[in-house]
Structure formats: C-alpha cells, structure tokens
Amino acid sequence: MSLLKPRLKEKLRDGLSRWYRRHRRDLPWRRTRDPYRIWVSEIMLQQTTVKTVSPRYEEFLRRFPDVEALARSSEESVLRAWAGLGYYRRARAMREAAIKIRDIHGGAFPDRYEDVLGLPGVGRYTAGAVMSIAFGGPYPLVDGNVARVFARLFGLRGDSKAPTLSKKLWALAEELLDRRAPGDWNQALMELGATICFPAAPRCPACPVARHCAARLEGSPEAYPSKGVRRRRQGVRLEAFYIERAGRVLLWKRDGDERFLKGHWGFPEAGRVEAVPGRLLTAVRHSIMNFDIFLELRQAALRGGAPSGHARWVPVERLKDYLVSSLWLKGLSAHGTASGSLDGVRSFPPKLARAPSV
C-alpha cells in the first residue's frame, strides 16, 4: 500500500535532487565508486563527525588501500590506524569483514545485498549505503539524519528508534527512493539532515522541500522526532599502574569482562596484577561511550613474577605501538609533555621517582 501521493513523491524527489546537485559538499568518499572505499567511509562516519573522519579516512586508505591489505593486517595495526575515531569495535569488525571477503568472496567486494549484509559490522543502513552508492542498487537507507528529515517532513511523532516508527521510516525510505539514482538520492537525504535540517534550529528558509514539510507548517520542527530515552552516563574511577623494569613497561590486554576498550592494550588496572602502588604520576578525565572515566596512573612495583597470559613487557619507546586509546595517550601526554602531543609518548616518562621496593 502506498504511503505517499505520487505527485508529492515527484516533487520531493525533484526538489531535493536538484538541490543536492548544486549544494553537495565535496567529500573524499564522494569522489569514488569503489565499494571498499565507500564501505570504509560509511563505517567511519557511524558515530563520528565528517570533520574528524575526513583526514583519518585518507590516512587509513594509504595504510590499507584495499581489502587484501586490510585482511592481512594485524588487529593492533588496524586499531592504531583507527586511533582517535573511537568505538573501536568498528575497526575490529572491518578487519574481520576484510578477511571474510578475501576467504569467501575471493577478495572482491561483494555486490549482492545479502552478502554485504552478511559482513561483520554491517547492518541494514551500511548495506543500503554501499549497495546504492557503489553499485547503484535500489536499496534505501535510514540513519539519524534521514529519520529526522522524514519525521519532520511527514509530521511523525515518537522515538525514531522505537520499532513502530522505525518500521514506518524504512517503509517511507523504500517508497521515496529514486530508483534512477539511488546513491545520489540517499546521499541527498542525509546531506539535507546534516547541513540544513539540524536537530536544533533547522534552516527551514534554505530547505528545498520546505513547502511540503508538515513540521514547519505546524511551526515547531524541533519537536520532531521525540527524544528517545538516553542511556545514563556512568562515572568510572580507574586506577592503573605504570610498572617499569629495565626499560620495559608492563602492559595488559583487556580481554576479560571489561566494559570499555575491550581487546585493547593498556596499563594494568589495580587488581589485575599484584603490585605495590607508588606515587601518582597523572590523573586525567576521558569519556568513552557513556562512561566518564577518571584515570589515575600510578607508578608501581610488581610483587613477584610477571603475570602471564594477558600481560606483555613492552620497551618504553614502543609504547605508542600498543596504546591506541586516547584514554592512555592522554595519561601519557599529560605526564610526559606540557604540549600534550602524542610525541610525549616517546619521551615518557621524563623523570620517574624510584619505584617502591618490595
């Protein structure tokens, strides 16, 4: 059953497509139809801004120019290249997906929707984006921007993540999809949400579809869509140890039941190793997902032998090859240099007090 009148669909498509052709931003991932490159950009842009992603995207592609390069990389090198983008499980899943493409699809990026959807870390949105933009396939998508635009255009109240409204948004996306140029159409919708139909203070006078917008006609576009229940932020106090022996530092792989930075190397937390805490080296605040972390990095001396399994002694000058998250880098930089640059990692620690003897 059709949700929209044919004439309205036509007007929305024409108005928005014309506007997109004239106003689209020149972004690095819009200069290619290579599915690998488009996929990388789509994964990076989930939960990370265009401004942050743009330079990192080029760097990542220089390091991993194709599926094969990503598939043969180590997990650590991918996490390192991902540093600063956050939500590291995306990077891990991308590497697994590249391995799957190499082993199951012969190294060629799949061009069937079901195969793309079957890759680790790929959901309905990403599959739709890759299929429509890279292959011109007739697949719609709904992300946060599109959900907001649709909720306002069609006056849909409710939480866009709730199943009932989400289903309706996807049905609208399917029906409105411009099958002559699905990639451009999907990008036009997202571009409108990103550059005109802002969550707060949308620029309605500049909007190419303003005359059809129910929320604007009603006079309160900001009220759409309603806010969902936000996850509560949690404060976490983290005491970690800087344990050095003969120029090497003990690091710990967070492979247990950690709530954040799972799979990352970091300094061992109190309770993970048997150590005698010494003086406080630095204290920093950092947020990861919904956790507000207060890290205290303390000098410590190991009691007994080095723990096995999750632990590794790493030369001081190689710490930056292991420590990816800004949480640890902030700790090192705050203590290691006044500038706070990553170079501080190399010079850390400038002057440590003698470790307590045990």
Q: Mind telling me the catalytic residues?
A: 42
Return the number of the residue (153 or 275) whose C-beta is nearest ligand SF4. Answer: 153
Which residues, in sequence order, are CB contacts of 188 under 8 Å at separation 6+? 16, 17, 19, 20, 24
The span of 111-119, 176-184, 203-211, 338-346 binding ligand SF4 (CB under 6 A) equals 203-211
| Cis peptide leading into residue 277 (ω within 30°) | no
Give least dist CB 16 to ligand SF4, A: 10
Give me the phi and psi of 237, to 5 degrees please. Answer: -100, 125
Return the number of the residue (153 or 293) whose C-beta is nearest ligand SF4. Answer: 153
Give least dist CB 18 to ligand SF4, A: 15
Distance of CA 205 to the CA centre of its chain: 32
Give least dist CB 133 to ligand SF4, A: 22
x/- contact string, 212-231, with ligand SF4 (CB under 6 A)?
A: -x-xx----x----------
Return the number of the residue (153 or 302) whose C-beta is nearest ligand SF4. Answer: 153
Distance between CA atoms of residues 298 and 276, nearest Å:
10
Return the number of the residue (141 or 149) whose C-beta is nearest ligand SF4. Answer: 149
Instruction: Give the containing element (helix H, strand E) for 191.
Output: helix 182-195
229, HSE (Cβ side, Cα atoms, 13 Å): 3
Give least dist CB 150 to ligand SF4, A: 9
Which residue of 196, 243, 302, 319 would you call a contact of ligand SF4, by CB under 6 A? 196
Which residue of 146, 209, 295, 297 would you call a contact of ligand SF4, by CB under 6 A? 209
**Both tokens assigned to 94:** 């991308």
Distance between CA atoms of residues 238 and 24, nearest Å:
44
x/- contact string, 134-153, with ligand SF4 (CB under 6 A)?
A: ---------------x--xx
Give me the phi and psi of 347, to 5 degrees please. Answer: -95, 0
Rounded to 5 degrees, what angle do the CA atoms 30, 31, 33 make?
85
Give least dist CB 147 to ligand SF4, A: 12
Instruction: Give the containing element (helix H, strand E) for 249.
Output: strand 248-253
Chain contacts with ligand SF4 (rule: CB under 6 A): 149, 152-153, 196-197, 202, 204, 207, 209-210, 213, 215-216, 221
